[in-house]
Amino acid sequence: MAFNPDDFQFESITPPEKRKPILEWNALSRLIVVRVKDSDGEYSYHASQLSDEVNKNLLAGIPDEWSNDNDRIIDFSIYEDGEYILDKEKLKFDFSNKTSKYIRYNYGELSTAQITELFNIVKAAIEVQRVDGEIERSREIIDLAKSTEYTITLDAARQKVKATLLQKSDWTQLADATEIFEGEIELWKQYRTYLRDNIKSPNDFEDLLEYLVWDAGFKWPLTPHEYHSSDPEHSVEYLSTSNQFKKSVEGTGKFAVESIYGNVEEAALIEKEKINNGGIPVTTQIWDKIKKYNLNHGLANVDLNNLNITGG
pLDDT single digits (tens) 87-124: 999 988 878 788 888 899 999 888 889 999 999 999 99
For the segment 244-288, what is each residue's pLDDT rounded down to a tens digit?
998 877 544 333 334 434 466 677 777 777 777 777 888 999 999
β 43-49/99-106 pair status: unpaired
Residue 101: alpha-carbon gap to chain centroid: 42
CB 13 within 8 A of CB 45: yes
Q: Sort residue 43 into left (φ over 0), alpha (ψ -120 to 50) or beta.
A: beta
| The pLDDT value given to residue 265 | 67
Residue 85 CB neighbour total at 10 angstroms: 15
| The pLDDT value given to residue 204 | 92
| The pLDDT value given to residue 134 | 79
CB 257 within 8 A of CB 154: no
Domain regions of the chain by residue span:
1-110, 113-312
| The pLDDT value given to residue 13 | 74
Residues 69, 103: Cα–Cα separation, whole Å:
13
| The pLDDT value given to residue 252 | 42
| The pLDDT value given to residue 290 | 94
Q: Sort residue 303 into left (φ over 0), alpha (ψ -120 to 50) or beta.
A: beta
Beta partners for 99? 94
CB 246 within 8 A of CB 220: yes
| The pLDDT value given to residue 146 | 66
Q: How many helices (H) and strands (E) does the chain have?
A: 8, 11
* CA proximity to 267, closest of 209, 219, 310: 209
Mean pLDDT for each 10-residue chunk of the chain (312 residues)? 46 74 93 87 88 94 91 92 90 83 89 92 93 78 70 86 93 91 95 95 85 84 94 95 83 39 65 76 91 93 85 72
CB 177 within 8 A of CB 189: no
Question: Which residues does 216 contact at the CB level (< 8 Å), separation at least 6?
Answer: 256, 257, 264, 265, 266, 268, 269
| The pLDDT value given to residue 256 | 36
pTM over 0.75: no
Residue 287: phi and psi, rounded to 5, are -65, -40
